[in-house]
Amino acid sequence: MPDPSDTTYFRKGFGLKTEVANTLDADYSGRLVDVLRERGFTLTAGDTTVRLAREFGFCYGVERAVDYAYQTRAKFPDRRVVMVGEIIHNPHVNAKLRAMGVEILMPAPSGFDYSGVTSDDVVIIPAFGVTMRDFETLRGLGCVIVDTTCGSVLNVWKRVDTYARDGFTALIHGKHYHEETRATASQVRRHAGGAFLIVRDMAEAERVCEYVERRGSRDEFLTRFAHAASPGFDPDVHLLRIGVANQTTMLASDSLAIAAAVGEAMERANGQEYRAANFRSFDTICSATQERQDAVKELLEQPLDAMVVVGGYNSSNTMSLAAICARRVPTYHVEDAVCLDPEAGTIRHKPIGQVDEVESAGWLSMTGPVRVGISAGASTPNNKIGDAVARIFATRGIDPRSAV
């Protein structure tokens, strides 16, 4: 990382937290969420009860990233401010930044196009971080860089850097197309011969286990992981020593299961001593992600008729929350509170594993007392959670004000 005294690189804001606090509060705070907290995370009106998971919404890393973006706009009111992709995966927050005059570069298949960025510009690196190549390109342009990369992501980077330094391949549980995972994988470039392989789920991890145990086809393996492996990846070489890491927002239980499966495969293939010397695994799920997953599991122990999870459709941690809920109760992952239409009694949502949004009618039309759980991804502001709560009551024909 650059010298903290560098006048073109900033990771700690600009000392303008107080100046932007009122704007942030107006843009993202939610009174109804405050009321839910005060009342034990439960509100009842008429025959409808809404229960909020005890951990939800903005995590520290997201709060920090958004705060720094607002500080950046205040610090450089007359300069062009550009962001490398979305700061977080929430359409409301990104729309607010665009309205403030922050330009958001969206990636093409070949990556980000920096041809329009000059040394006079201020560039914000999002909470997910950027690849080594992107960072080096920006440094070469001489622009001011405001780095909001989440500390939990930096911890994963340190882990895969250690793997590469010690000659271990970084096996990353994540989505190969996700900004965070791409940035993490790029860290192996710090070391000659550094290698990575990205697995999306247990099914892909099982293919790795098969090859480790010499049961897989080399050609089939290379074809399957062509999009998710480091250049020149050779499974006969790079699967001899493996260190497991993960995208910080994946399901913790899946990451732990994948690590266990790969470690056991190495032991079956080569013995316990070999595994001890050539396999490493550390849980790099961020604490906020874990806390939100644990809180949802706790909420699901209570009787619920439906679960609403609020957050961007491209938000990995929100999708993980929805996946946990869908195993136990009818679950509706909505991108925004406006997806709930009280007048029509419909809800627009994205079912687990599907690409397109769908609309469901009569989702809360059941008779008798109704109990609805709600949670939100780490990039969802409180006002959007509160709006969703109000719309749940309104869908049942209840004035949400009567609940408070």
Sequence-ordered alpha helix ranges (H) in 197-311: 202-212, 218-224, 235-238, 252-270, 272-278, 287-299
Distance CA 101, CA 104 (A): 9
Of the listed 55, 86, 179, 180, which one is catalytic? 180
Sequence-ordered alpha helix ranges (H) in 31-144: 31-38, 60-75, 91-99, 132-141
Closest CA to 313 of 284, 355, 282, 277: 355
Instruction: Specify the 3-state DSSP secondary structure of 32.
Output: helix
Pairing of strands 370-376, 48-52: parallel
Instruction: Specify the 3-state DSSP secondary structure of 355.
Output: coil
Residue 89 CB-density burial (10 A; 0-12 exposed, 13-18 middle, 19+ buried): buried
CB within 8 Å of 296: residues ≥ 6 apart = 53, 321, 324, 325, 375
Distance CA 334, CA 151 (A): 28
Distance CA 311, CA 123 (A): 25
Closest CA to 262 of 248, 237, 280: 280
Distance CA 148, CA 150 (A): 6
Closest CA to 309 of 325, 288, 293, 329: 325
298 as an active site residue: the answer is no
Please report the DSSP string for 160-221 in residue order: HHHHHHTT-EEEEES-TTSHHHHHHHHGGGGSTT--EEEE-SHHHHHHHHHHHTT-S-HHHH
Backbone phi and psi for residue 380, each to the nearest 5 degrees, phi listed first: -100, 120
Evaluate whether 389 touches 339 at the Cβ level (below 8 Å).
no
Rg (CA), the chain: 23
Evaluate whether 65 touches 288 at the Cβ level (below 8 Å).
no
**Catalytic positions, please?**
180
